[in-house]
Amino acid sequence: MLIGVLALQGAVSEHCRALTSLNINNVKIRNLEQIKQIDGLIIPGGESTTLRKLIVNANLWEFIMKSNMPLMGTCAGAILLGKNKDETFGKMDFSIDRNYYGRQINSFEEMLEIKDYSNFRGVFIRAPAITDGGNTTPIAFCKKQIVGCTDGKNMALTFHPELTNDNYFHKLWLEGMK
């Protein structure tokens, strides 16, 4: 199995580190040739408007849109997987609002509420919020809000799991692919 990390913007090498620590082969994805080789893709955080443009410019938008491969989106990546007033892939049935907690200065860290797991510190950087979980399964909460959800093989997280050393969510996503 080979997992790709979209490498156009954001915390790319941190996601690669998490995958490597789980003994998962991984590759940074910048073009069509590379994306055709992989079995799953992580779309990292960054800035969703810019990220969208970079994906289109790299000629990857249509490929991702049509593909059935498992996706994990973190923060800006989660925005692109859900439903927003801006254009997204809309691959997962949840609604997400950008910059929900305010400006960059309102970024925060907070322990998450997760079923059957504890002590996961969520890093929220100008994070969005899932305002309606739709038909996805919520997997993590913070301040009573859904901050993580799955629909089987896809996972969206409004925080940055790659910025902590706990690979719980990466592992969960990989297990969901089986």
Distance (Å, rounded) from C-alpha 105 to C-alpha 35? 35
Q: Closest Cα to residue 63, out of 86, 36, 44, 42? A: 36
CB of 169 to ligand GLN, least distance (A): 15
CB of 18 to ligand GLN, least distance (A): 16
Active site annotation includes 160: yes
Binding residues vs ligand GLN (CB under 6 A): 45-48, 75-76, 79, 98-99, 125-126, 128
Catalytic position from the list 15, 16, 142, 160? 160
Is 110 labeled as ligand-binding? no
Active site annotation includes 15: no
Catalytic position from the list 16, 142, 162, 170? 162
CB of 33 to ligand GLN, least distance (A): 26
Q: Closest Cα to residue 118, out of 149, 141, 146? A: 141
Is 42 labeled as ligand-binding? no
Is 121 labeled as ligand-binding? no
CA angle 70, 75, 76 (to 5 degrees): 90
Conformation bin of residue 119: beta by default, left when phi > 0, alpha when psi is -120 to 50 = left
Active site annotation includes 75: yes
Q: Which is nearer to ligand GLN, 25 or 106 (CB)?
A: 106
Binding residues for L-glutamine: 46-48, 98, 125-126
- Tell me which residues are annotated as active site: 75, 160, 162
